Amino acid sequence: MKLELGRIKIHDVQFGPETKVEKGVLYVNKEEIEKLVLEDERLIGAQVELARPGESVRIAPVKDVLEPRVKVSGGGGIFPGMINKVKEVGSGRTHALVGAAVVTCGKIVGFQEGIIDMSGPAAAYTPFSGTNNVCVVIEPQEGLETHDYEAAGRMAGLKVASYVGEAGRNVEPDEVVVYETKPLQEQIAQYPDLPKVGYIHMLQSQGLLHDTYYYGVDAKQFIPTFMYPTEIMDGAIISGNCVAPCDKVTTFHHLNNPVIEDLYKRHGKDVNFIGVILTNENVFLADKERSSDMVAKLAEFMGLDGVLITEEGYGNPDTDLMMNCKKVSQKGIDVVLITDEFPGRDGKSQSLADAVNEADALVSCGQGNLIIEFPPMEKIIGTLDYVETMIGGYEGSLRPDGSIEAELQIIIASTIANGYNRLAARGY
Amino acid sequence: MALLITNNDKAKKFCMDCRKEVEVIYLADGTYLDVLLRTRDYVHRGYRLLTHPLCGSVKPNQTPYRSVLLEKQSAREENFRSVELIENSIDAARKFMRNRGTPRWNERTREDFKTVDLSFLTVYEQRNYV
């Protein structure tokens, strides 16, 4: 499967009468976006605001972040099973507005998602301080059930990202990157002397506000399967998770998975990147057993020499992570884990809630318990009303002048457990 | 027969109305940690865990609600894995609580936490767990 990803670089975002891209500037029609979001009867308010890198702007509470993309050729449409019909994606050509993002925000439930600062010391912890953001602040109908509101918010983000992405359809990209993974036997034969490496991609799938979707299917309903990495770049996986700001894998991160990106960079040089094994994170131990058995079986069947594993979330998923690690290792395959840590504020407690002897190689993406300071910002997109009930916030977090003291985990993607950040732990 | 230990009335109701037979221990005034400690008692009496005691990514010092499903097993079967998981979970919960206690949430927020906690259990009705 071969995908040409046309990267259209965006360095500014502005309102305009027509949604289009011109000379690297993304213009968006505010009214059209608001109308699109309000087509959903579950939502009664939609307000579009822009946030650019370096501005004195704080966005909160954030639900999801998405990169606008459009499928130009090759069959299927972006976000299959959600926005477009279920049809295999990952081939042909896709255009991405790189440097632009759609951010959905607004109150979701009583406890809330996190913060994006566009400037100041907290901005360095999130990649979305560096993107030109089209923020959609949504407001639900009074009395809407939690499940319905989550779904409405999720769909609003997908709709707006697809709408904005459409502006890139006929724009000549600044660069075109080609990604290709061949069917198993051909892929092994292409680089017979290089180690065969796979990526085990664990999706959050525990329940309400903890879900991820694969071609429109709730990930807890599938059994582990093989994916060509380029399918993921076309939006075959989307996020419905909004409980852990720091390490949630937003839809943006699915589209721009750094593990896949880096494995492709080394593909044919020092590794032979065979593909992705997709799996879930379950609540019932029997489901964990079945899924991890299947992951190990697939890894063995594909003839892998080594795998990287990423998880999403803390606690329960650590058990899935360790079961995958143990069972894949027992097949004689080398395993490296990638995760973030919650070792308490002094860093002295156990980082993960579970461990096995086979887990002897781990890349850390930082620890979420660190306390940091947020200076006041001139403009707030959304509201600061919920800072103290956000994950990472606490009583007294928000001061009268608008400054905040909170744990690092309140910032969107600050310790994201696939490495799309700058935090790490190093051994010396 | 399965056993639910919970301090969430929504989870209690779900299990009592469930088409599978579930015995319920409802700790009306119990905390998250109380549910884990009671779970440990039952694990040491020979029950095995059906669900992970830390399910959800809402941290143990954020949500006040916890539900754990267990099952009685025969004396011949070992349940070391359950012992290990509940002990690790209690350690993890205490670690978070040492850091900061659970906030005093308003009624609406407590209801949302209950709904999320319940959502972890609902697949139980659709699947066989042996």
Element at B48 (helix H, strand E): strand B47-49
Both tokens of residue A95?
């255009």
SS3 category, A377: coil
State the Cα–Cα distance between residues A385 and B51, nearest whole angstrom. 35
Q: Is B44 on the interface with A (CB under 8 A)?
A: no
Closest CA to A283 of B124, B28, B81: B124
For this structure, is A105 an active site residue? no
State the Cα–Cα distance between residues B20 and B32, nearest whole angstrom. 25
Residue B77: pLDDT band with limits 50, 70, 90: confident
Per-residue model confidence (pLDDT) at position B62 = 87
Cβ-Cβ contacts under 8 Å for B85 (sequence gap 6 or more): A285, A319, A354, B49, B52, B53
What's the gap in Å between the CA of B107 and the closest CA on chain A?
Answer: 9
SS3 category, A317: helix
Q: What is the mean pLDDT of chain B?
A: 92
The average pLDDT across B24-46 equals 96
Which of A105, A135, A242, A365 is an active site residue?
Answer: A242
Angle at A19 between CA A242 and CA A178, to 5 degrees: 70
* Residue A54, CB-side half-sphere exposure with 13 Å CA sphere: 2
- Judged against a pLDDT cut of 90, whether residue A93 lies above it is answered with yes
Which residues of chain A have a Cβ shorter than 8 Å from any chain B Cβ?
109-111, 146-147, 204, 206-210, 220, 241, 243-244, 283-288, 312-317, 319, 342, 344-345, 349-350, 353-354, 369, 388-389, 391, 394-395
Cα B64 versus chain centre, distance? 11
* Beta strand A362-367 pairing with A334-341: parallel
CA distances from A25 to A22, A114, A411 (A): 5, 27, 27
Angle at A342 between CA A299 and CA A327, to 5 degrees: 20
State the Cα–Cα distance between residues A113 and A410, nearest whole angstrom. 7
* Beta strand A25-28 pairing with A12-15: parallel
* Strands ordered across the beta sheet of A334-341: A225-227, A272-281, A196-204, A306-310, A334-341, A362-367
Least confident of A32-46, A47-61, A75-89, B75-89: B75-89
Per-residue model confidence (pLDDT) at position B127 = 85
State the Cα–Cα distance between residues A400 and A388, nearest whole angstrom. 13
* Dihedral angle computed from the Cα positions of residues A36, A38, A40 and A44, in that order, rounded to the nearest 10 degrees: 170
What's the gap in Å between the CA of A180 and the closest CA on chain B?
Answer: 35
Q: Which of A243, A283, A313 sits opposite B51 (nearest CB)?
A: A283
Cβ-Cβ contacts under 8 Å for B112 (sequence gap 6 or more): A109, A110, A111, A146
What's the gap in Å between the CA of A370 and the closest CA on chain B?
Answer: 11
Residues of chain A positioned with their CB less than 8 A from the CB of B60: 315
Per-residue model confidence (pLDDT) at position A79 = 98
- Contact flag A204-B57 (C-beta cutoff 8 Å): yes
The average pLDDT across A35-39 equals 97
Residue A329: pLDDT band with limits 50, 70, 90: very high
Q: Which of B57, B103, B109 sits opposite A315 (nearest CB)?
A: B57
What's the gap in Å between the CA of B12 and the closest CA on chain A?
Answer: 17
Cβ-Cβ contacts under 8 Å for A172 (sequence gap 6 or more): none
* Strands ordered across the beta sheet of B67-72: B22-26, B2-6, B67-72, B47-49
Q: Residues A172-205: pLDDT tens digits?
A: 999 999 999 999 999 999 999 999 999 999 999 9
State the Cα–Cα distance between residues A267 and A272, nearest whole angstrom. 5
Beta-bridge partner residues of A404: A374, A398
Q: Which of B52, B112, B116 sits opposite A319 (nearest CB)?
A: B52
Q: Which of B108, B112, B116 sits opposite A207 (nearest CB)?
A: B116
CA distances from A159 to A19, A233, A303, A310 (A): 14, 17, 39, 28
Which of B20, B48, B51, B57 has the most A C-beta neighbours within 10 Å, making it the best mutation to test the interface with A?
B57
- Residue A227 is classified by DSSP as E
Closest CA to A95 of A68, A64, A124, A58: A68
Q: Is B27 on the interface with A (CB under 8 A)?
A: no
Alpha helices in B2-123 (DSSP H): 9-17, 32-44, 80-99, 107-119
- Contact flag B52-A369 (C-beta cutoff 8 Å): no
Residue whose pair of structure tokens reads 């087509």 in the numeric block: A39
Q: Which residue of A has its CA nearest to B126?
A: A221
Q: Are A360 and A336 in contact (CB under 8 A)?
A: no
What's the gap in Å between the CA of A218 and the closest CA on chain B?
Answer: 12
Residues of chain A positioned with their CB less than 8 A from the CB of B14: none
Q: Are A120 and A100 in contact (CB under 8 A)?
A: no
Buried b (16+ CB within 10 A) or exposed e, A191-213: beebebbbbbbbbbbbbbbbbbb
Q: Which of B52, B99, B124 sits opposite A285 (nearest CB)?
A: B52
- Contact flag A110-B54 (C-beta cutoff 8 Å): no
Q: Which residue of A has its CA nearest to B69?
A: A284
Q: Are B65 and B7 in contact (CB under 8 A)?
A: yes
Interface confidence: ipTM more than 0.90: yes
- Contact flag A389-B113 (C-beta cutoff 8 Å): no
Q: What is the mean pLDDT of chain A?
A: 95
Which of B47, B51, B52, B59 has the most A C-beta neighbours within 10 Å, making it the best mutation to test the interface with A?
B52
- List strand residue ranges (DSSP E) for A128-271, in order: 132-140, 175-180, 196-204, 210-214, 217-218, 225-227, 237-241
The average pLDDT across A359-385 equals 93
Residues of chain B positioned with their CB less than 8 A from the CB of A317: 57
Per-residue model confidence (pLDDT) at position B79 = 87
Asked whether the bond before A61 is cis by omega within 30 degrees of 0, the reply is yes
Residue A158: pLDDT band with limits 50, 70, 90: very high
Per-residue model confidence (pLDDT) at position A110 = 66
Per-residue model confidence (pLDDT) at position A275 = 98
State the Cα–Cα distance between residues B54 and A316, nearest whole angstrom. 5
Residues of chain B positioned with their CB less than 8 A from the CB of A316: 52, 54-57
What's the gap in Å between the CA of A286 and the closest CA on chain B?
Answer: 6
- Contact flag B62-A349 (C-beta cutoff 8 Å): no
* Percentage of chain A lying above the pLDDT 90 cut: 84
Global confidence as pTM: 0.95
* Dihedral angle computed from the Cα positions of residues A400, A403, A408 and A413, in that order, rounded to the nearest 10 degrees: 110
Residues of chain A positioned with their CB less than 8 A from the CB of B113: 110-111
Per-residue model confidence (pLDDT) at position A99 = 98
